[in-house]
Structure 1
């Protein structure tokens, strides 16, 4: 009998490649590209210039950065943890307002707070004027307060702007602590005044470590506030080495040092959370009861809770409103401010759309292939959030500029016409930077929303004849719409406030609200920047309202 199988090709294995997994892998590769580019550029020889930077620039910048991180981290930890305990453990008149108002400093970027306090606390400002009037002095030559342009000024500014990161995480942990734990501690002889130190604080230590690490990463990302306040950090050293000294390799080498600091922060946060595991019996869990306060103790608690709000939000916001009104009465609404507002909204909206699409693709691939390499791709794609914007800008510039040069030369060889900078000139490089930096917010928020959809819904949809695309359109997208909306809002506001990457990668003649404010403040024309700062703060309040609503609904 003839063998009919002879000559046939061996059967190919049925390998199905998911489009979602491919998109997730490509997104992760693009997110990882700037970090790889920085490492490659840092290997270049900088000649004698790096020796000058290493001897005269880097030691002072590294020391300033270390002191700033330690000081602002301590302030943020003390203020955030204390405020979280006050609103979680005590009940007094005004506590409900403090509960959400303590989040308001999140609406004020550090560079705006520094800009506001430079004018408020200047020798000719209102605060020093009142102090001299009370003490009987008539001129700044006779008496003036210490200059806020100093390390202590920068520490206070960062501490009171960034404490909400600690407040959010610590308060969530305090609210999760159950009454039976407190009652057991009281039974074992722990006084009420010792509950915080002996029970609540040790259990909240992992959450506090997470909040402090997030705050410190924001300090490393800053370039505006530290420069306004005269503190030369490593971020400022990267900027000046690249822009002023035109030494990209030297700036990349400093950037690698900053990445090492970020890695150290992440490792420190994980070390602080080692062996920290707490569990509660869900069947018998009751929320920790608040201790009622009245009279003087209630006033003290209200004052302690209101002080961070006054320093971190109300004071700067009131100054911005007054300065903006004066500017409008004097010169009206300038054309440059209108252009900057349009540029900011349009660029942020475009970047938000791209980031939401990519974030959904990464999160959806991780859902479809749980535990596979798609989950790894999601973690890799989220690395950019831990990288300062200045560092990302350097890593993006080189591959983007190489692509522009290649495309320009090909266009010129084909048409004989000179080519331009397609990605750098159109703002695509800036959208790339925003995507690499804030993809973690989009992917994390959407992943949290998708995780609330039971897998049984997928099975039911497929049983009813829906394809995977139909399940996506008719089940997953409608149910994850709140998560998409929240993630989009957070990403939009973060793109609008981002200063370092915008400052370095913006197209020519492109001003955003953040860069306009930076330029005016650097020139000392504070009144002209007040309106831009006020618009940023007003839009920045939106995610704060969302966070406050979410935290109240979770309870």
Structure 2
């Protein structure tokens, strides 16, 4: 018994516990993983075995342009997010300047604004008929566009800036967390050798934080690949736009699957590069990484520079869009507050809540199964279940519609031949398809949060519960879930907000005459009715602020400040 207890303290899969644990948890995890991985396998299968192979046509015509534009967009967004994210993370973490405490959390506010919303806002402000150009013509006496030059917002460069302004928080968030974890002694040694704050950043801090920065950048690039609303509104022909065009306009699902497979290759390359960049790096927490940070004292001009560096992204990425949306929502409130808005808001709330609950249940199942059976096979299943988070929404929609439509067609054919009745599109034509897609896409968020929380609970608590006669299920309900309440709430909230903002998958999979706030905003913007889209867009933005505050508090609480 002593050896068994000792074994339980050393690992999460001791022999005694494994023998007494039911295999139902492992079977449940295996079935769940197979279902979650089904969309990926469906896309790959249809890409290689399409009903009509248009791959040669795509290669000769549109695919090179889609690839070129996508690469340019991703490189541009990467440059913007790295520049803003690293500069602001270093400033608020290591430099003392007025407003630093405010900017610690305010830098995350653009995270709440979907890229397509900020694109709509700046288009309404900067177009020829927008208030900015109207004011310029009035001030300088210009009569038409031939009298002056003004940058065109609906371009690849405009899309790059819009997406970069709302995605830099990925880099900022992980870079700041990495900076907070570093040892103060490294800074002290660097300064004692005569290095300035900037020199210390490039020579010491940045190399150590590179793994975290690489993760943040890979997330930025995957979100850029996922974007549809911005590139569609700006007429930028990326792979995502090409997928929609091939499927919706040409009606060729096989061709869409082939483009989706190309996008999956991009995702694999990004993940591989991220892991390759830190293949030889192994870092351990320093003993003094909990000591208070002593910030650099800056001169007045440099303090003003820090304020400007932090203020400009917040103003451009959040303040201007939020104020503009608020003004439009106020002016057009009577027109915007209508039964369609209320109905679509309820649709978004119900779908997002259902997806959040489903991902929590499945996430708990997977994470707890790994705790009970911490084998190599279980680790592989956890990774497979997280594939959806790396899949662009449009790709995921293709992968979801293939098996669901196949099942609907099989069931309808069987019911027609047996009973002479048609069952219709039970799964692919209902909200089930959306909830399934949301669950697959955001399962990694809940599973990762639950797994992280379970790792903090000592295995001896499992043994104590089992010694009292409780089954694994009772142990989970009575012991683990109460202790995981905070992690579960955070995961559910993040998934809820992500589902509220999701556009590409929702556009493809929504039932007929069914809209969410995201598709509602997209429809108004597509019809150039930007002011009428302000109220639903503002609701999406406000919903995203709560998890931002929680994330900022959790990061700030990891380190004290001298």
Fold shared by both chains (TM-score > 0.5): yes
Deviation at 1:259, TM superposition (A): 0.6
Q: Is the 8 A contact 2:77 2:163 kept in 1?
A: yes
Q: 1:118 aligns with which of 104, 114, 123?
A: 123
Deviates more, 1:335-344 or 1:66-75: 335-344
Q: Is the 8 A contact 1:46 1:250 kept in 2?
A: no
Mapped pair 1:179 → 2:171 = no
2:450 corresponds in structure 1 to 446
Deviation at 1:139, TM superposition (A): 4.5
Q: Is the 8 A contact 1:128 1:144 kept in 2?
A: no
- CA–CA separation in structure 1 for the residues paired with 2:151 and 2:366: 50
Deviates more, 1:216-225 or 1:139-148: 139-148
Q: 2:246 aligns with which of 222, 241, 248?
A: 241
Mapped pair 1:90 → 2:95 = yes
- CA–CA separation in structure 1 for the residues paired with 2:118 and 2:50: 39
DSSP 3-state at the match of 1:554: coil
- 1:521-540 matches, cutoff 5 A: 521-540=525-544
- 1:127-276 matches, cutoff 5 A: 127-137=132-142, 139-276=144-281
1:335 corresponds in structure 2 to 339
1:512 corresponds in structure 2 to 516
Mapped pair 1:358 → 2:345 = no
1:372-409 CA-partner distances (Å, limit 9, x unpaired): 42222111100111011111111111110111112222
**Do the aligned partners of residues 75 and 526 (structure 1) sit closer, same or farther apart at CA in structure 2, a change above 3 Å counting?**
same
Deviation at 1:135, TM superposition (A): 4.1
- CA–CA separation in structure 2 for the residues paired with 1:364 and 1:131: 61
- CA–CA separation in structure 2 for the residues paired with 1:332 and 1:341: 12
- 1:305-384 matches, cutoff 5 A: 305-329=310-334, 331-384=335-388
Structure 1: unaligned runs, 5 residues or longer: 1-13
Q: Is the 8 A contact 1:177 1:287 kept in 2?
A: no
Structure 2: unaligned runs, 5 residues or longer: 1-18
**Do the aligned partners of residues 255 and 116 (structure 1) sit closer, same or farther apart at CA in structure 2, a change above 3 Å counting?**
same
Q: Is the 8 A contact 2:197 2:296 kept in 1?
A: no
Deviation at 1:294, TM superposition (A): 5.6
DSSP 3-state at the match of 1:296: helix
- CA–CA separation in structure 1 for the residues paired with 2:284 and 2:381: 30
Mapped pair 1:109 → 2:92 = no
- CA–CA separation in structure 2 for the residues paired with 1:332 and 1:209: 42
- CA–CA separation in structure 2 for the residues paired with 1:108 and 1:470: 41
Mapped pair 1:26 → 2:31 = yes
Deviates more, 1:503-512 or 1:295-304: 295-304
**Do the aligned partners of residues 367 and 48 (structure 1) sit closer, same or farther apart at CA in structure 2, a change above 3 Å counting?**
closer
Q: Is the 8 A contact 2:43 2:260 kept in 1?
A: yes
- CA–CA separation in structure 2 for the residues paired with 1:354 and 1:193: 47
Q: Is the 8 A contact 1:176 1:287 kept in 2?
A: no
Return the TM-score normalized by structure 2.
Answer: 0.92
1:274-295 CA-partner distances (Å, limit 9, x unpaired): 3223334316863441013463
1:455 corresponds in structure 2 to 459
- CA–CA separation in structure 2 for the residues paired with 1:283 and 1:527: 53
- CA–CA separation in structure 2 for the residues paired with 1:221 and 1:94: 34
Q: Is the 8 A contact 1:327 1:527 kept in 2?
A: yes
- CA–CA separation in structure 2 for the residues paired with 1:419 and 1:40: 26
- CA–CA separation in structure 2 for the residues paired with 1:321 and 1:271: 45
2:294 corresponds in structure 1 to 289
Deviation at 1:134, TM superposition (A): 4.7
Q: 1:419 aligns with which of 410, 420, 423?
A: 423
Deviates more, 1:374-383 or 1:69-78: 374-383
- CA–CA separation in structure 1 for the residues paired with 2:444 and 2:391: 11
Mapped pair 1:393 → 2:393 = no
- CA–CA separation in structure 1 for the residues paired with 2:224 and 2:288: 42
Q: 1:431 aligns with which of 430, 435, 438?
A: 435
2:7 corresponds in structure 1 to none
Return the TM-score normalized by structure 1.
Answer: 0.94
**Do the aligned partners of residues 316 and 93 (structure 1) sit closer, same or farther apart at CA in structure 2, a change above 3 Å counting?**
same
Q: Is the 8 A contact 2:99 2:307 kept in 1?
A: yes
- CA–CA separation in structure 2 for the residues paired with 1:386 and 1:82: 26
Q: 1:63 aligns with which of 68, 76, 87?
A: 68
Deviation at 1:26, TM superposition (A): 1.0
- CA–CA separation in structure 2 for the residues paired with 1:51 and 1:374: 40
- CA–CA separation in structure 2 for the residues paired with 1:339 and 1:446: 33
Q: CA RMSD in A?
A: 1.8
DSSP 3-state at the match of 1:27: helix
DSSP 3-state at the match of 2:45: helix
- CA–CA separation in structure 1 for the residues paired with 2:139 and 2:49: 60
Deviation at 1:16, TM superposition (A): 6.8
